[in-house]
Amino acid sequence: MRVLTIDMHRLERALDDPGPLEHYLDLHSGQFISLDADDPDAQTLHQLESDPERYAGIPPLDTADRIDMREAFLFDLHDPHAHPLLAAALQSRRPLRTFGYELEQFPAARRAWPIYEKARLHELALNWLMELGLEPAAETAADSSMPEGIRRRLLRA
């Protein structure tokens, strides 16, 4: 496995982005490229097409994956009142929206969900990198304690 410095938080957000942007990882530098699918930037598009082996498209989670993640969360949830309502929400016509709405009624579950979701997204990101033969470089203590906004600005520079 090849070690590469990668902003794991950004990779996790890209996996969880259902929006119109397509995200790519530069396999040489670890940098990210985002491309608006509706209005692609010609220069960025040329960059991606000129060296396709260098860039890997980051596959966003689809609705089924998002529902599966919430169902897995329910297995770890030990609230006899929340579990049946949240399980029923995932069977509704708009499962993701209904799940979020029902989650608001249970403070402990509402606090547990983002923690679970972040851990699961991190796991999915690591698995995806492993499929590419990559391993993220370990963050130093200074990097992990640095506020996200400052870290993001430094990475852009």
Residue 143 has pLDDT above 60, yes or no: no
User: Which tens digit of pLDDT belongs to each residue from 20-69?
Assistant: 889 999 999 999 998 887 777 888 888 888 898 999 999 999 999 999 99
User: Which tens digit of pLDDT belongs to each residue from 62-93?
Assistant: 999 999 999 999 999 999 999 999 999 999 99
pTM of the predicted model as reported, rounded to 2 decimal places = 0.82
Give the C-alpha separation, 67 to 65, whole Å: 5
Of 111, 112, 17, nearest in space to 65 by CA: 17
Give the pLDDT of residue 124.
Answer: 97
Cα 87 from chain centroid?
23
List Cβ neighbours of 70 (8 Å cut-off, separation of 6 or more).
Answer: 86, 90, 95, 96, 99
Give the C-alpha separation, 102 to 45, whole Å: 41
Lowest mean pLDDT among 19-23, 89-93, 119-123, 133-137: 19-23
Cα angle for residues 22, 27, 33 (degrees, 5° grid): 30
